[in-house]
Structure 1
């Protein structure tokens, strides 16, 4: 059990940092899928996003944020490795991380920010479609780009909403936070 005297970084700081970094990576994947750019940007950004999500994982762990640790930890490994493989190996990696994110999405239903499960479910679908594309399914490149663009924009929005919530102390942009059961009574 943790002692109350521990110094904690605000939980939202690690989450926002990771969300912004992940959004940069998924935006790069999206513009590739939509035919705007090559994979060079994805390959260049991937390891840096891996470092940022690793830092976010460490802060989530130290802050006893189990869900943040469960989301950002596997993603950190993913970002370090996806740029090194291709074809079937990349498809299997996307399938595996999609399953992990799907589990995280179901677990996230128990926390109050109801936008998070939506974001994670979009990521799950995007990972599965990306896995199919890597496995050689023709005609999915545009769908990969569109799904990751939706995810990226929603993740940018969520990061901005969390920052405004922390800075203003009130929801400026909706995060669809449900009230705790004790507050409803």
Structure 2
């Protein structure tokens, strides 16, 4: 570790305090997503950092994708499914969530004990405001829901969209094309 004896932090300004966002619906983009173990090590969650549109504010949210509490796991996986459906993505890795657009219902959790009041995300919605994943046919969602926990969490295959609207799609297709080209050149 480095020595801080020559660092004069006493005159530094205090960190800015943010007022709570009023309860309501907000849109934004997932800036980072990282898979982590729970403190008890008996579950895993995806820690999301979401940049709110038109502001310098960020919200943080955990998606419980593996949890001993069946209810917590179902909530986390249904939220993951909503994000996947809304963005027309298959979520195979936490990094697949980065750059996903989200619309969220935000509430204020009252202060408890030593913890101050804070914003919390209650649910995710379609970007157009609807409650169903309209971009993915019901038959596809049902078939994928029957293919195990990872498929239930991912919940959808990419749908038709312009590459200009979804820059990650172009990157994924280029990677798949490059891999396909490599496979053709392997002699057997």
TM-score with structure 2 setting the length: 0.27
User: Counting strand residues as a fraction of each chain, which structure ranks higher?
Assistant: 2
Q: TM-score, normalised by structure 1?
A: 0.27
Larger-gyration structure (1/2): 2
Greater share of residues in helix: 1
